[in-house]
Amino acid sequence: MTANASDQPAYLASQFRLPDIPKTKRIAEWGGFYWVGEGKYTVDWLLYDDTGRACRKQWKIEAKLSPNERGVTPGMAAGTIAPVSFRRWSPQDDADVHALRRLTVLLHAAPLFPRATRFRPQDRLVLLGSLASLLESMPARAVRLIVFNLDQQRVLFRQDSFTPDSFDQAAQSMQNLQLQLVDYSVLKNQRGRVDLLADLMSEELNAGSPSDAVLFLGPATRYIDKLPPASLEDRPSASPRFFYLQYRPYVRPGAEFADSIEFALRRVHGKKLVIRSADDFAKAIKQVDMQVASEK
């Protein structure tokens, strides 16, 4: 694959082993992914088997930002090609001197499509890339990261002083998330998910060193449970602002139902910001930054 005729090609290869099967008309499908920056590319595709048979094809593609994404800085330079991997957090040397004192991110590790029962690699890539972009766009002197899953009613990762060196550990915590397997204790405790939300929020409300902002980041949940009236104490005067950056990439604009996280945020007068595109994400970060800065 090349960006133009003068560039060095990038080679992307994979191997697929077929089982021993009798003659059949069934079709097998497999595929892969790669990242490209903006630009036009030529793709040369070759398929061959161990008997020497081969099939070739060539086509051209163009990668470009949509009109709604023009305000977003791409994560890759134009004309570049790279294998798919999750984007890591790379703090900027010229970070704004008015950085937040402390930021808490509550990352909900769940499928982007609420009805899905599998946590796909694509879901993990989007969430980790969003987390990296968020931390770079809202530089903070201290970051607390908590990765949790409501289906399993548990925290997958927690670090009060989160650093770029710990990013791989956070990513690994989601590696083997199997939502098809449900623990018996989870089935017994049907309200465990709202108890988990209440515990996470109470911890932030009563922290000795409260964050300037607490951000829930992740897809809309499949649950609509509300927190019990007595599950959260009165909001302290110095408590942080709560926000919910909710991913809804597969839902068209229109009537939307509140989920458990949104119901919980209403208890502390938090704000939900819906994310359907990269442009929405950039605008949401700016809105959070402006609201937090106005209260300093």
Helix (H) or strand (E) holding 143: strand 140-149
Supply the pLDDT for residue 255. Answer: 61
Which of 145, 165, 158, 155 lies closest to 102, judged by CA?
Answer: 145
**Which tokens sit at 151?**
């289906």
The strand pairing partners of 204, in sequence order, are: none
At 262 the pLDDT is 95
Amino acid 3: pLDDT: 72
- Which H/E stretch holds residue 172? helix 167-173
Q: What are the backbone dihedrals phi and psi of residue 110, each rounded to the nearest 5 degrees, phi first?
A: -155, 160
pLDDT in tens, 189-228: 777 889 999 999 999 998 888 899 999 999 999 888 888 8
Mean pLDDT per 10-residue interval, the chain, length 296 residues: 71 77 74 80 89 91 79 75 74 61 95 84 89 89 94 92 92 82 70 90 89 94 86 68 90 74 92 89 89 76
